[in-house]
Amino acid sequence: MAKEREEIVESSSGIITTTVDFVFNWARKSALWPMTFGLACCAIEMMATGASRFDMDRFGAGVFRPSPRQSDLMIVAGTPTLKMAPIIKRVWDQMPEPKWCIAMGACASTGGPFPTYSTLQGVDRIVPVDVYIPGCPPRPEALLYGLMRLQDKIMQEQPTRFVFGRGNVSQEDVEGAAATTAEGENAAA
């Protein structure tokens, strides 16, 4: 939060200067739309998280969508069986970018108490997971904590790198490469 404040400079005349990355990330983290689906018992805790006592809406993530095409957050809450795995993958593929995934509970993270032939041993075998939440089941507070960690992760992203063609190269990489080139030139001279 302190870092977020540092990235906004507000003048007395009502003008705010900040970066496009910050605005994109702030908008994205403040309006996450989770996909409506649950696989087993953990989904009950997820539903409780969305209800009035825990109120997931406080974090801008309370609007569960009934279509993957309107969702940008997949919360895998429950036991992913091998039979269900292709369906989970299809739903994930139907979600538009940018999108994120939370593995909620031991089953979604590692297969949990089911090291059996019928259970996928972690949903990260079929979709990329951003945040893992331990527990069997995790309480709603744990899901809210995982959601906040995901928001922190979103704030570290650089969405404009695709616009300005820097690809996956970070500013540190660019500065490191420049320093190496300068050293090489000095050595040659």
Binding site for ligand SF4 (CB under 6 A): 40-42, 78-79, 105-107, 112-113, 136-137
| Structure token digits, residue 104 | 């909620």
Smallest distance, ligand SF4 to C-beta of residue 136, A: 3
Task: Report the residue number, 32 or 108, with the smaller CB distance to ligand SF4.
Answer: 108
Smallest distance, ligand SF4 to C-beta of residue 85, A: 15
Task: Report the residue number, 34 or 78, with the smaller CB distance to ligand SF4.
Answer: 78
Q: Residues 56, 147: contact at Cβ < 8 Å?
A: yes
Number of H helices, E strands in the chain: 7, 5
CA 90, CA 81: separation in Å to the nearest integer? 14
Task: Report the residue number, 68 or 80, with the smaller CB distance to ligand SF4.
Answer: 80
Task: Report the residue number, 113 or 128, with the smaller CB distance to ligand SF4.
Answer: 113
Which residue in 99, 108, 116 sits closest to 38, CA to CA?
108
Smallest distance, ligand SF4 to C-beta of residue 114, A: 7
Smallest distance, ligand SF4 to C-beta of residue 121, A: 12
Category of 33 on φ-ψ map: left (φ > 0), alpha (ψ -120 to 50) or beta: beta
Alpha-helical (H) ranges within the chain are 2-6, 20-29, 42-50, 85-94, 105-110, 140-155, 171-188
